[in-house]
Structure 1
């Protein structure tokens, strides 16, 4: 990571700590209980957060096989895909954004993958996730993208909770890059 990238990451972690992180008991999308919650949207949807995730995740794409589009998993991954798509355009390597729905709506386009008109069979796509816990949501999105004709090349997560999700995704044959982990919010060995 470049020096600029390192300072962007530091600022993003600070923003996530300030706006998104809470130590409280919650039930996660995976059904698991946790003693902390990180609502990345609270940070990502700020102008600064959007710029930071766009830059950092675009840079992280370099660790994956080359992609021709980025896909955000509904809902938290959608602004990530938009931010990376915008950044890619500004940096001269335009990547369209796709949104992967959890389920087909009963009205409108009735698509599982929004933005799919530009998706050609075999197109390499990177998945962008806000938080990985078990990897279940990500792996479902992989299947939906494959059904739509994409070739998923890997996953970039804003936060890996370090609860086995990245390993599950890797076990499915996909590389995973995390911008942050739970250690950025909760140290392994708290002082005292």
Structure 2
């Protein structure tokens, strides 16, 4: 495991990982909560997340990245800025929870940077069941983009990968819960 990933694991554990019973978006109960925004909005955390995402994205043939607001907003911003710095430019888009309701009535913001048929990766902070990502993917496909991959900071390993596969989506992650706990303990 590289040094950046180890540093990210420690920062995630310090800022984003909390043990204790919580109810997740899916309605499931869990013995821990992972609030990635705390790390993704931290200066070093944003850089580390963006660099780790860029590393994973290197194995995919993509022309851009996007994700569902609010969780993916700092992830998309980090990747787009760092992709420019690294001379591997990837424009970004944000998927609204509800259509705009006026003007173009669109779900996706940032589409001027894309052409129909372009391959993109969806970025996500945490994957539990994958339900939110399946909805997001439908909106991206409806906008004419092709999804080459779904990349998350954390895969909780609670059925999300399998549910996404059923929807024709491939999940990759920086960490699974077990990998995060192990990396942070080193």
TM value normalised by structure 2: 0.92
Q: CA deviation at 1:174?
A: 2.2
- TM-score when normalising by structure 1: 0.89
Asked if the contact 1:161/1:182 (under 8 Å) is kept, the reply is yes
Aligned to 1:72: 67
Asked whether 1:11 is paired with 2:7, we answer yes
Q: CA deviation at 1:108?
A: 7.1
RMSD across aligned C-alpha pairs, in angstroms? Answer: 1.6
Aligned pair partner of 2:130 in 129, 135, 138: 135
Which aligned pairs between 1:76-155 and structure 2 lie closer than 5 A? 76-106=71-101, 110-155=105-150
How many residue pairs get aligned? The number is 182
Verify the 8 A CA contact 1:142 1:152 in the aligned structure 2.
Answer: yes
- Name the residue aligned to 1:190: none
Change (3 A) 1:105 1:33: farther
Instruction: Provide, for residues 85-132 of structure 1, a one-character-per-residue CA deviation record: whole Å limited to 9, x for no partner.
Output: 111101111110111112124467643111012221111110000000
Q: Deviations over 1:23-78 (max 9, x none)?
A: 111111111111110000001100101100110001101233x1111002211111
Report the equivalent of 2:32: 36
Q: Any gaps of 5 or more consecutive residues in structure 2?
A: none
Q: Distance in 2 between matches of 1:172 and 1:106?
A: 27
Partner of 1:175: 170
The structure, 1 or 2, with the larger RCO (C-alpha pairs under 8 Å, 6+ apart) is 2
Q: Measure the CA separation in 2 of the matches of 1:101 and 1:132.
A: 18
